[in-house]
Structure formats: structure tokens, C-alpha cells
Structure 1
Amino acid sequence: MEQKKGTIPVSFLLRLLAWVLLSISFPFFDDFYAQHPYLLQLAYGLNTFLTASVIISTGKFIMVSFYNRRHASNKVRGNFVLGINRLAAILNAVFAVVSVMIALGINPKDFITSMTIVAMAIAVIFREYITNMISGLIIMFSEQFSIGDHIRIGEHSGKIIDITFANIVVLNEEEDMVLVPNNLVFTATVINKSAQVSDKLTVRFELPLADRMDAQTLGTKLEPVLKTLPDLVPGGEVLVRIADMGKDFVKYKIELHAIDGSNRRQKRIESAVLNALLQLTASGRGEV
């Protein structure tokens, strides 16, 4: 179930309560901790994690609240909140590891210093994943596209349903979930169909030479069908063009104007136009 906007999560309240109780326990149970040094070490580790977690959650809450208040009257396309949540998850994971070290009596600073060479080797081995993570963070904080946008990345096209540290999760037209590596965003051509919501629609198709028609004739034959489509602007301009010609085919494109920029509406228009073209070519088979 989704958290209501402006409410404080129960998990944060529980962490805050545990942190307060644990902090109070140090002066009140000083003798007990002195007799049980292992429990003291464990308490220090847990206190480190809770302190960091409370600070991170408080900072995240303040930043998100400030951001939402600042953009309350504007349409925001970025993923600032998503980026903050992912970054908070990374910081919590880092401090969880540090807390475990403290609980086990390991000095985190000495450990990191001694593991420098190993860390460099790990960085080389997991270079692709690390760069994917960095790319993911850049995407999360960008204003270029966000969850819910319809995009095309290279040969992949569909609706963004999630952005992770490793991939952009895209749901394509066949309802298949496609995991696109974050790095691909910076190396391939990206088209965001939702960035500029436009009522202009272009339908592309090709006909074999045997069924070819000049642009004016094709527009005239399609006009009665187009007038019946409720999703098109009444009296809107319809422009038919020949886009390319090959050895045994002719490519056309039809420019139309929908009543709004809804992606679903434009899909309906495209399907209706293509169906009309099928009927035209079937009825006119053999004509030049």
C-alpha cells in the first residue's frame, strides 16, 4: 500500500524510538555494558546504523518536502524523488556494512585502508555494473524522462515502468518487460515521445509497386474514412507524402492531427488508418 503524502512512515518512528532508547541505555547501563563488552560493541554498531538511518531519513524527508512544495504548481518531469530514495538506500546499505564492522570490533577506517588494492581490483571487475549505477543515478536526477514516459532507446520502444541502478525497465507494445542497461542511454539515440505532448501524428506504411498510388489519389480515397474518426480534429489538415521508393515498394507517410496528444488515442487512429489502407489495397488489387 502506498504511503500517504505528508505522513511520517511507521518504520521511521520505530527506528527513531529504538535510537532514543539505545542512546539512553549507554549512561544508564554503564556497569552492565562494562561487564559485557561484546554487547557494548554490538550496541555501538546498532547505534551507528540507527543514527545514520535517522539522519538520512530526516534529510530525505526535508529535501522531498521542499522539492514538492517548490514545484507544487508546476508540471515536473524529473525523477528527483526517485533519485533521492535510491541514494538513501545506498547510504543506508553503506552504513549497515560499517555498523556490522563496528559490532564485530573491526575499525572501518583501518579495514578500508587495508582493502584499497582489493577494492581497486573489485572496481575493475565490476566496472560495467558501477558505471551502470552511476548512469542510473544521473538518469534518476535528470529532467529528460521519467517513469510513465513512452520512449525509444535504440531498437527498444515502450513505456518506462521503473528505473533501477542497473536498468531502465520498459514495457513494450507486446507487453514484454525489456531491461535496457542504463549505459545505453548515453550511447544510443533516445526518443522521448512523451516529452513534448503533441496532437500531430504521423502514420508510416509501404505499398508494393503493384498497388502504388500517387499521394493525391491516396489522400482522396482515405478522406471519407478519416472524416468518420472521432479522435481526429474536425476539418484538420491531412497531408499525404511519398517518403521513399524502393525496387518493389513505395513508402508513404500521412500526417494527421488528433484532438489531443494521448498515446492511446494516437494508437487508435494509426490502427484505423492502416485498416482503411488494407481495405483500399484489397478492393483495388490489380489497379495501377
Structure 2
Amino acid sequence: MNNTAQDRKLSFSFILKIVAWLAINYSFIGLQAIYKQPYISQIAVALNTILTASILISIGQYILVMLYRRKHAYEKVRGNFILGIGRMATVLNAVFIIIALMVALGIDPKEFITSMTIVAMAIAVTFREYITNMISGLIIMFSDQFSIGDHIKIGDNHGKIVDITLANLVVRNEDDDAVLVPNNLVFTTTLVNKSSQKTNRLLVPFELPLTANLPMGEIENAIRGQLKHNPSVVWDESFELKVHAIGKDYIKYKVFITTNAATNKLHRNLEGEVLHAVLQRMQGVRID
């Protein structure tokens, strides 16, 4: 769903909440007779609590997002702040729904919270991992270190961030699997954000078997031939092919290319062209 369609959906739901809120508040004045039954009155107050809180939270969310977008109108805006505001709005709505349910059941929220203090501490200890994950998730959402769409490497997992929840990062790896990385892991292990390296210098690693017997000159000529008509490659700058490591039965290479832009899409396309050139060159080589 695009932003316009999503905004229309949110506007329609907001209008429905306003209409329902006005109807309930009108009924408190014009239809007092129906509230002589205590349960009906409690349910109406609970619904009014939910709608009032939801409307105020939606207004606050809209104002904060609008101010954020206006402030970053001429900058590259990362979506973490907006995502964090949305998650906080969800949490606050959930809290007020619980309070409203207490009101509907005739339970005083203040007395309930006071009497449940010890139980709440026990719950906090039991679910401390989830609570710390949730706090870590909120910190991540309001940070600018990485965002949805960035390519990261964390531990043994690497791929594209497709979602950030209160419990984990959802990373789509090269096998198109959705890997759930706990938010706490972001602060306890090394994380590499490959998308944050906004540089025109592109590094493409690859490896070949020793039995391929491909001279470096032939590999370099194959890559140059593949990229020579690509307008994104800056040939006046350094183009370099290096041997990175030699193993028992393989050689690891690194190709350095200078481009005229630093977008992730461009770099991925060029990386694909480099690997394609190497594979094409290998197909014409006899493997011993």
C-alpha cells in the first residue's frame, strides 16, 4: 500500500472515531435514561475512554510526523522516527484499551495497579527479555544508525531490513528467508550497516578455484570489457583488481571500482555485472 492510500485509510478511520465519539458524548446528554443500568453506563464510559485516548494519540502522532517531515523536507529522511511514533501510538492505545476494559468491568484502575504492584514486579522479572527487547526496539526506531531498507550484517546473519518491531529486526537474507534478530542483539554484538557507506568507491569480492588457471590480466580485461560502456563507471579514477587471499583450493579477489553515484541500487547492479563478466570468462576456460 502506498503512502497516499494509507493516509486516506487513516483519515477515514479517524473520521469514524470522531463520529463515534460525538455520538457517545451526545448520548450522555440526550439519552440519559438508557444509562440507568450501571453496566450500560460502564461500557459507554469505557468506549468513550478508548475513543478519546485514540483520537488524542492520533492527533499527537499526526502533529509529530508533520513537524518531522517539514524539518527534513530537503533532506534524505529515514523512516525510523515515523516508525517509532507509530509503535508508541500502538502501545499507548493498548494501555488505554486495558484501562477501558477495567472500567467496563467496574474495576478501579488505580486500586488495581496498587494491588498488582508485587505481581507486576514478578511479571517484569519473568518477561524481562521481552521488555528489554521492546525498549531496545524503541531506541532503534528513534536512532538514525540504520533504517528499513538498509543492508546489514549482524552476527552470522546478513541481508536487508524489511521491518523493525518491538521484539526484533526482520532481515531478509540472500535465500529470501525472513530472519528474526532480537533487538537486544543490536547492542551486544557487532553490526555492520553496509548501506551507510555512502561512497563512490565500490568493492566487489569474489573467489575462483585454483584449477581455473585464469591469469589476473584476463580477469581484469573481462571486467573492463563488461563495464566499458556503463556510464556510471568513472574510468579516470582508480580501477584495481587485487588478490585478497589464497586458500587450499581457491583464490579470493577484490575489485575496486569508482562510480559517479553512491546509491545502493547502482552498486548492486555493477556488482552483478562484475560477477557476470567473471562467470562468462570462466565458461570459456577449461577446468583441469
Q: TM class by shorter-chain length?
A: 0.7 to 0.9
The within-5 A match list for 1:3-152 is: 4=4, 9-33=11-35, 35-152=36-153
Aligned-pair identity (%): 51
Tell me, yes or no, if the aligned pair for 2:47 and 2:100 is still in contact at 8 Å: yes
Distance 1:96 1:247, change over 3 A: same
Q: Cα offset for 1:228?
A: 5.0
Any conservation in 1 of the 2:203–2:254 contact (CA below 8 Å)? yes
Against the structure 1 CA distance between its residues 108 and 237, is the aligned structure 2 distance closer, same or farther, given a 3 Å change threshold? same
- 1:145 offset after TM fit, Å? 1.4
CA RMSD of aligned residues (A): 2.8
Q: Which residue number corresponds to residue 268 of structure 2? A: 267
Residue 153 in structure 1 maps to residue 168 in structure 2: no
CA positional deviation for 1:245:
3.2
Rounded Cα–Cα distance in structure 2 between residues aligned with 1:267 and 1:62: 37
Return the alpha-carbon distance in structure 2 between the equivalents of residues 123 and 190 of structure 1: 28
Offset at 1:2?
4.4
Cα pair distance change 1:126/1:159, threshold 3 Å: same
- Cα 1:280–1:43 change in 2 (3 A) is closer
Ranges in structure 1 where 5+ consecutive residues have no aligned partner: none
Deviates more, 1:220-229 or 1:108-117: 220-229
Task: Give the paired residue count.
Answer: 286
Letter in 1 for 2:170: V
Alpha-carbon offset, residue 227 of structure 1: 3.0
Question: Cα gap change, 1:223/1:84 in structure 2, threshold over 3 Å: closer, same or farther?
Answer: closer
Deviation at 1:220, TM superposition (A): 5.7
Alpha-carbon contact 1:77-1:144 (below 8 Å) kept = no
Local SS of the residue matching 1:9: helix
1:111 positional shift: 1.0
**How many angstroms does 1:92 deviate by?**
0.4
Deviation at 1:95, TM superposition (A): 0.2
- Secondary structure in 1 matching 2:205: strand
Q: In 2 relative to 1, CA 128–212 (structure 1 residues): closer, same or farther, beyond 3 Å?
A: farther
